[in-house]
Structure 1
Amino acid sequence: MSTDRILTEEEKAAEQRRGPGATQRGGPPHMRIGQPGEKSTNFRSSARRLLGLLRPERLSLYAVLAFALASVGLNAIGPKILGRATDLIFAGVVGKQLPSEGTVAQIVAGLRARGQDTFADMVEGMPHLVPGVGIDFGAVGRVLLLVLGIYVVASLLQWAMGWILTGAVNRTIFNLRRDVEDKLNRLPLPYFDNQPRGELLSRVTNDIDNVSQSLQQTLSQLLTSLLTVVAMVGMMLWISPLLALIALVTIPVTMVVTAVIGKRSQKHFVQQWKSTGELNGIVEETFTGHQLVKVFGRQEEARAAFRAKNDDLFDAGFGAQFVSGIIMPTMMFIGNLNYVIIAVVGGLRVASGSMTLGDVQAFIQYSRQFTQPLTQVASMANLMQSGVASAERVFEVLDAPEQRAEAGAPTVLDDPHGRVEFEGVSFSYTPDKPLIEGLDLTVEPGQMVAIVGPTGAGKTTLVNLIMRFYELDAGRITLDGVDITDLSRHNLRSEIGMVLQDTWLFGGTIRDNIAYGRPDATDDEVVAAAQATYVDRFVHSLPDGYDTVLDAEGGNISAGEKQLVTIARAFLSDPALLILDEATSSVDTRTEQLVQRAMSALRQDRTSFVIAHRLSTIRDADLILVMENGRIVEQGSHADLLAAGGAFADLYAAQFRSAVAEPVE
């Protein structure tokens, strides 16, 4: 049977109240897949912005550049000097075979007279040849020691470059994580409504880690490789312009191959990280709601959703790695083909005497060192593509519209009394679906205001507006005559205590969870708040009392006990305004009565807004607001509303009406 169904009017209203994110996040936990809506990738601008993050580390980067230039320069002259050792050895081998009488010019002339022109050309082109003298091992040893010293210094410079660059990259990623954390604190609540938690967590953890690894692995290698290419080209042109021209043919070929393959792999990397975030969303939501999945027997659907998204991730990952992996063998083939051509042409030039054997050896080393960095740059294409794809996902968070800025000089409420007034308030989650329109309401200090109504009527929205979780479309809300937009959000919310129907506890002790409401509270104040909310009653039955460590979900205490801890937290904060969103829904009847008494004491001289579904809990309310479709349709005391026989009376009768048995025919 199809799981699709037509939404009732009440459910539609509930979706509207929850906001635009509800559509994406609704349904069973295993079906709530993130839909971030990836934009097309702009590699160049994103890569430029990513490198721009390193701007504060420019002094370190200058040092890295200096060390890289010195290291590459030393590595560049090494083969040329080593070629001199080869020339000395080759000259010694050839010179030993020649007669010691006469000069090199006389020996060359004799060889030409005998018709050995090729051998004569080779002997004439050997600068270190001494007729009749073998290998000068002392000179060879001095050259080898010089080359060894050059390579040791170059290695030390590379080590220093890597150490400095590692620090620069890690500081940059540290700042990026800090900026993302700060950005999350500045984002409005609707942003989180539209972002599944697993998807957002993937962006701020997996994607930032991937950016870090990509920068760490590519920056030093990329810088060294590019400088090496320039140095090798210079040395090759110095030794032989003809062979250099042959070697340089690989550059346009390399660029074309890298561009073509890189362009094809980029879309796969974007899809790979998108699928990673969606898979994280499925895993996080499935295991957070694993009890619900099992209760409704939806394990197979959960597995199917996981398998489908896992297959998507496999396909995207395989495509990205396979396509980008083609670059390396292609470049190796081009480099080997170039090596063969250089070896053949170089051998012919040695035979003709236009080059020494040492220069050919050095040139072959340069050609290998020239093609190797090109191959490395090509092989890094997949890392760069992956890192930029992740950076774009992080930049989307950093570029998200922020909540409205605070007032330039915010008003400070030092001693609020709790008078709340709504003046022509209008609000909607989406412009085409108005929810609250032209609401006027005045609540005096110390009053208990109960808000009732059907699901989706706007009850929770009303208190969210007081907290400035959402900004108004029109009108204003004042606290003690001060527009709440003139207050800083911190000042406003520090004067409000809120207890939700859905409890939230973090990993820590019961004492820490209660003290979260006021971190500077003493142990005696924490215990007093626990006693006032009857947390103290069950804490003493736990092995470690107030030092009992709760897990992140508070799974080692009951749902009712978790609710009591959150109520104690609100008590401890000593707010001027209380907001209770069905705060006693998870406690038993007897505990509820005790908590109600404690709340009555707490509400003295404090304004309180109570969202209630059980109408028996609001008999003592000073004012009851009955809401329908974002409007207050009735208001008054419990007795007055029952006597009026309107919407409240209908709700009350529906909740407490005795079941009537159908007549038996």
Structure 2
Amino acid sequence: MRAYADNDYPADHKPDWTIISGLWPYLLEFRGRVVTALGFLILAKVATVATPVALKYIVDYLDQNRGADLLLWIPVILVVAYGSLRFGATLFSELRDAVFARVAERAMRRVSLRVFEHLHQRELAFHLDRKTGGLARDIERGTNGISFLLRFTLFNIVPTILEILMVSGILLWVFNVGYVLAILVAVVVYVVFSIKITEWRTKFVREANARDNQSNSRAIDSLLNYETVKYFNNECYEAELYDQDLDDWEQARLKNRLSLATLNAGQALIIGVALIVIMSMAVAEVASGEITLGDFTMINAYLIQLFIPLNALGFVYREIRQALVNVERLFKLLGDQPAIQDAEDARPLSVDKGEVHFDHIHFAYRPDRPILQNVDFTIPAGHKVAVVGASGAGKSTLARLLFRFYDVDQGAIRIDGQDIRTVTQASLRSAIGVVPQDTVLFNDTLYRNLAYGRPGATEEEVYRAARMAHLDSFINSLPEGYQTRVGERGLKLSGGEKQRVAIARVILKNPPLLILDEATSSLDSLSEQAILGALKEVSQQRTTLVIAHRLSTIRDADTILVMDGGQIVESGSHSELLGAGGHYAHLWEQQHRREDN
């Protein structure tokens, strides 16, 4: 399946507005809140539209009774009504937001959790191809975009349209159709202009997002490889690369800003012309006595009141357009199905004895580059089978296939006679423990990293696993003991210490099947011997597949398989293979010669 990439969309791609329909489930979860919020919305708009009417009667009363004895209580009542309507408009708007807040926040929570779970369901190839920094930005912008669409579609576009209709109705009823036509023409021109210019500048928004992802990915990748940067004294080189990405981002942002300035200036011009035309009409009618000074004030108030949300509507449309781009990315990410999925009738794996059979396996990461060809062997229950060979022979691929990071192209892998493609992935992986070549730890305490092998384990079980992995003496020597933080990716621990944490995790998990994927290849001889002792204890009574680089570490294996070019070329015990004088004997001789030198 094609990986989700940063440049999936061309610059002129138009997002699908039907994406908004995908937000309905988040609204339906809180029907009562949505209906209540819409009720407050209508009350707020009624109060907003009624405010200029109260202002009209205040001005007319004062104007018509100028120089006469005023009945003070009448303007006081009108002023109180005017102030109450203004307060009511704000109060109902705030109540609307307060009631709807739970809906928007819950939607962000639901989507964030859904994306998180989906990403963990994706196949290994997806994560190997994907840049984490860019992915994190897409998720952040997408979830924020969903919240924005929920809030602003309901509470900006709908209220503005409602207010335009209400104001038009009042002007038509009180005055004449000329005002309504002038307002409607201004609104139509404004909306059409905003849409056209926003469509034009969307490519700049996309480019800015892409450059933002690129620079963020560069920074995160460089910081994750901090030690490598230091080893090669390449701080300046990394800074230059990052600055190049930032320069691209700066140029993209500049285009975005300039296009935004064009949009804002055009919108301001349309509003300005509309105000001149409509107010000129009102001034002429006041001069001719057709309308009162209060009417003039009301028209002015309506125009100001109307064009403020209309101006916001332009902003909201721009933001909605950008939010659609972000949400479309997120929904596309969720729409890409994992390449490795459970069969519809998948059942939990039942491990009775623990026999593993690789049945005539063929596999390739790419069609033009076969990795495994007709690999066939069995690991009897409780036995240890080691696989050795040169780099690229396909050793680690066997472990990935058994753990079902990938599916075989031909053949089958069976555990106690069950094809692993017919069982659930959760049950398969819960039955397999892995001690990898490079153990990556969470930036958390040692205790939490150990307990990760079985999060529900008791403290005593965690301590016991640490003792069995010969890790307890090291932990007790630390000032903070089990509460010591291990740093990003466990960088505060040595390779041997991290491997012992991995072993303790497997002990805590207590699986019937075990994969040791070159678990000691990066360790020194002293650490290797200590780790080998712990691994030997862990692998007892477990069906174990050992992927080995150092041949000295697998002399006790029941069977050793020698791979070359994706095929098994030899098999037997350590002594049998040495006696045969073939590939294994040659590898053994080479390694001993290097160690002697």
Q: What band does the TM-score fall into relative to the shorter chain?
A: over 0.9
Compared CA separation, residues 367 and 163, structure 1 to 2 (3 A): same
Q: Which residue of 2 aligns with 1:507?
A: 443
Following superposition, the deviation at residue 161 of structure 1 comes to 0.9
Residue 170 (1) aligns with residue 143 (2): no
| Count of residues paired in the alignment | 594
Q: 2:35 aligns with which of 62, 80, 84?
A: 62
Compared CA separation, residues 53 and 299, structure 1 to 2 (3 A): farther
Q: 2:13 aligns with which of 41, 44, 60?
A: 41
Give the secondary-structure state (helix, strand or coil) at the position aligned to 1:549: coil
5 Å-filtered alignment, 1:371-410, equals 371-410=307-346
Bigger shift: 318-327 or 409-418? Answer: 409-418
CA contact (8 A) 2:122 2:337 kept: yes
Give the secondary-structure state (helix, strand or coil) at the position aligned to 1:437: strand
Following superposition, the deviation at residue 362 of structure 1 comes to 0.9
Residue 237 (1) aligns with residue 172 (2): yes
Mapped partners of 2:232, 2:214: distance in 1: 23
Give the secondary-structure state (helix, strand or coil) at the position aligned to 2:366: coil
Q: 1:369 aligns with which of 291, 298, 305?
A: 305
CA contact (8 A) 2:454 2:509 kept: yes
Q: 1:558 aligns with which of 490, 494, 516?
A: 494
**Which has the higher Rg, Structure 1 or Structure 2?**
1
CA contact (8 A) 2:282 2:296 kept: yes
Residue 608 (1) aligns with residue 544 (2): yes
**Deviations 1:25-68 (Å, cap 9, x if unpaired)?**
xxxxxxxxx75533553334365246445432444333222222
Q: Which residue of 2 aligns with 1:89?
A: 62
Mapped partners of 2:287, 2:279: distance in 1: 12
Residue 202 (1) aligns with residue 137 (2): yes
5 Å-filtered alignment, 1:379-458, equals 379-413=315-349, 415-458=351-394
Mapped partners of 2:458, 2:54: distance in 1: 75
Amino acid at match of 1:609: L
5 Å-filtered alignment, 1:90-105, equals 90-93=63-66, 96=67
Q: Which residue of 1 aligns with 2:266?
A: 330
CA contact (8 A) 1:84 1:358 kept: yes
Give the secondary-structure state (helix, strand or coil) at the position aligned to 2:165: helix
- Relative contact order higher in (CA < 8 Å, ≥ 6 apart): 1
Residue 655 (1) aligns with residue 591 (2): yes
**Deviations 1:169-224 (Å, cap 9, x if unpaired)?**
11111111111112112212221122122222222234423543565466523333
Mapped partners of 2:394, 2:21: distance in 1: 43
Mapped partners of 2:326, 2:274: distance in 1: 36
5 Å-filtered alignment, 1:212-223, equals 212=147, 215-216=150-151, 219-223=154-158
5 Å-filtered alignment, 1:40-189, equals 41-45=13-17, 47-49=19-21, 51-52=23-24, 54-56=26-28, 57-93=30-66, 96=67, 133=68, 135-189=70-124
Give the secondary-structure state (helix, strand or coil) at the position aligned to 1:498: strand
Following superposition, the deviation at residue 632 of structure 1 comes to 1.5
Compared CA separation, residues 142 and 597, structure 1 to 2 (3 A): closer
CA contact (8 A) 1:641 1:648 kept: yes
Give the secondary-structure state (helix, strand or coil) at the position aligned to 1:428: strand
Amino acid at match of 1:180: V
Mapped partners of 2:89, 2:309: distance in 1: 17
Mapped partners of 1:266, 1:50: distance in 2: 22
Compared CA separation, residues 52 and 630, structure 1 to 2 (3 A): farther
Q: Which residue of 1 aligns with 2:254?
A: 318
Bigger shift: 56-65 or 308-317? Answer: 56-65
CA contact (8 A) 1:41 1:270 kept: no
Q: Which residue of 2 aligns with 1:122?
A: none
Following superposition, the deviation at residue 342 of structure 1 comes to 2.1
Mapped partners of 1:89, 1:213: distance in 2: 45
**Deviations 1:492-516 (Å, cap 9, x if unpaired)?**
1111110111111113332322222
CA contact (8 A) 1:228 1:369 kept: no
Bigger shift: 592-601 or 307-316? Answer: 592-601
Give the secondary-structure state (helix, strand or coil) at the position aligned to 1:165: helix
Mapped partners of 1:342, 1:477: distance in 2: 79
Amino acid at match of 1:205: E
Mapped partners of 2:309, 2:544: distance in 1: 70
5 Å-filtered alignment, 1:283-302, equals 283-302=219-238
CA contact (8 A) 2:23 2:146 kept: no
Q: 1:626 aligns with which of 533, 551, 562?
A: 562
Mapped partners of 2:69, 2:463: distance in 1: 96
**Deviations 1:310-358 (Å, cap 9, x if unpaired)?**
1122222232233234333332232222222222221221232322222
CA contact (8 A) 1:417 1:606 kept: no
Give the secondary-structure state (helix, strand or coil) at the position aligned to 1:429: strand
Q: Which residue of 2 aligns with 1:126?
A: none
Amino acid at match of 1:48: I
Mapped partners of 1:574, 1:353: distance in 2: 94
Give the secondary-structure state (helix, strand or coil) at the position aligned to 1:344: helix
Bigger shift: 413-422 or 162-171? Answer: 413-422
Following superposition, the deviation at residue 388 of structure 1 comes to 1.8
Following superposition, the deviation at residue 527 of structure 1 comes to 2.9
Mapped partners of 2:19, 2:512: distance in 1: 50
Mapped partners of 1:561, 1:516: distance in 2: 16
Amino acid at match of 2:14: N
Identity of matched residues, %: 31
**Deviations 1:558-604 (Å, cap 9, x if unpaired)?**
22211211122112222211111111234332332233233223322
**Deviations 1:489-546 (Å, cap 9, x if unpaired)?**
1211111110111111113332322222123433333333323322123222211323
Gapped runs of 5+ residues in structure 1?
Answer: 1-18, 25-33, 97-132
Gapped runs of 5+ residues in structure 2?
Answer: none
Q: 1:570 aligns with which of 498, 506, 526?
A: 506
Mapped partners of 1:83, 1:313: distance in 2: 52
**Deviations 1:602-645 (Å, cap 9, x if unpaired)?**
32221111111111111111111222232222222222222223
Following superposition, the deviation at residue 135 of structure 1 comes to 4.5
Amino acid at match of 2:15: F
Mapped partners of 1:637, 1:402: distance in 2: 40
